[in-house]
């Protein structure tokens, strides 16, 4: 039985509250299991400097010496096992994340040099002034998942009015930009725009076919443009002809 708009809103609101409650519970658990253990027992026994970055149950430990990282990794699984927890086998690994390495170290090292954390791939790069900085790019799996979700949404909205399609896609892209829109991530964001524009044009063509079959005609991509030129899903500025109108004039 399909849910009404009010029922869907109430259901989504309850799911958001559950997720927030679960995050608070996980944060308190890992605050005791990881944070206090790392601060009180691990850090004083290390040879060099170290730091811990954690969000809910995802965390990254940074070490100045490889020996310290190997020692902590050896006992980390045992620490989590005391509380009925375990490390994710695909996400747990050692990474040689140094900005500068000699040619000999590059040839001898077999460790990966990048890592994913909270949906971002962390790599070394250079700023406009030439300084060495850490770049955060949208992870490939997260980008593929987002594009797949957008494509499925466009297929579901194929028979919706163009204005409604435009509003929904704008809302989806704004949410994507709000999280992944950071410095140095422009190329991945632009790739999402291009792919999303291709999915949106299919819905736009579907709207034209419906309009012609119903005898109402179509105004192309007037307001709520989904054409190639306005691939960023922004409305056509007032007083400017849409791309479809210009092509017909030619």
Segment 17-30, tens digit of pLDDT: 777 777 788 878 88
Phi, psi of 188 (to 5 degrees): -70, -35
Least Cα distance to 234 among 225, 243, 242, 244 occurs for: 225
The Cα–Cα gap between 6 and 18 comes to: 19
Tell me how crowded residue 62 is: count the other CB atoms within 10 A of its CB. Answer: 12
Q: How far is the first Cα of the chain from the last one, in angstroms, to the nearest whole number?
A: 50
Q: Burial code of 188-204, b = ≥16 C-beta within 10 A, e = fewer?
A: bbeebeebbbbbbbebb
The Cα–Cα gap between 133 and 182 comes to: 14
Task: Label residue 224 left, alpha or beta by phi (over 0 means left) and psi (-120 to 50 means alpha).
Answer: left
Q: What kind and span of H or E run contains 51?
A: strand 50-55
pLDDT of residue 205: 53
pLDDT of residue 29: 84
pLDDT of residue 219: 42
| Beta strands 120-126; 132-138: pairing state | antiparallel
pLDDT of residue 159: 86
pLDDT of residue 197: 79
Are 233 and 196 in contact, with CB atoms under 8 Å apart?
yes
Are 165 and 224 in contact, with CB atoms under 8 Å apart?
yes
Regions of the chain with pLDDT less than 50: 1-10, 207-250
Are 31 and 52 in contact, with CB atoms under 8 Å apart?
no
The Cα–Cα gap between 28 and 34 comes to: 10
Least Cα distance to 122 among 49, 27, 53, 173 occurs for: 53
What is the tally of helices (H) and strands (E) in the chain? 8, 5
pLDDT of residue 192: 86
Q: What share of the chain is helix, strand, coil (3-state, %, to 5)?
A: 55, 10, 35
Segment 173-202, tens digit of pLDDT: 999 999 999 988 999 998 888 887 777 665
The Cα–Cα gap between 3 and 8 comes to: 6
Segment 75-100, tens digit of pLDDT: 999 999 999 889 988 889 999 998 87
């Amino acid at each position: 039985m399909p849910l009404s708009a009010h029922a869907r809103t109430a259901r989504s609101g309850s799911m958001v509250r559950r997720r927030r409650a679960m995050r608070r519970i996980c944060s308190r658990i890992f605050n005791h299991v990881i944070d206090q253990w790392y601060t009180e027992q691990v850090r004083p026994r290390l040879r060099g400097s170290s730091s811990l970055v954690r969000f809910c149950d995802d965390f990254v430990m940074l070490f100045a010496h490889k020996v310290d990282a190997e020692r902590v990794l050896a006992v980390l699984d045992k620490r989590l096992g005391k509380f009925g927890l375990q490390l994710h086998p695909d996400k747990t690994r050692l990474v040689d994340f140094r900005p500068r390495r000699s040619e000999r170290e590059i040839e001898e090292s077999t460790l990966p040099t990048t890592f994913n954390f909270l949906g971002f791939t962390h790599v070394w790069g250079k700023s406009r002034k030439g300084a060495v900085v850490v770049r955060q790019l949208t992870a490939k799996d997260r980008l593929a998942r987002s594009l797949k979700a957008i494509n499925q949404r466009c297929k579901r909205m194929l028979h919706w009015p163009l204005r409604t399609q435009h509003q929904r896609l704008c809302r989806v892209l704004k949410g994507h930009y709000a999280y992944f829109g950071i410095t140095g991530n422009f190329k991945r964001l632009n790739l999402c725009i291009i792919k999303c524009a291709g999915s949106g044009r299919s819905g736009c063509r579907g709207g034209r076919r419906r309009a012609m079959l119903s005898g109402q005609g179509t105004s192309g991509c007037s307001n709520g443009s989904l054409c190639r030129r306005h691939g960023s899903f922004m409305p056509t500025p007032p007083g400017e002809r849409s791309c479809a109108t210009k092509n017909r004039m030619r």
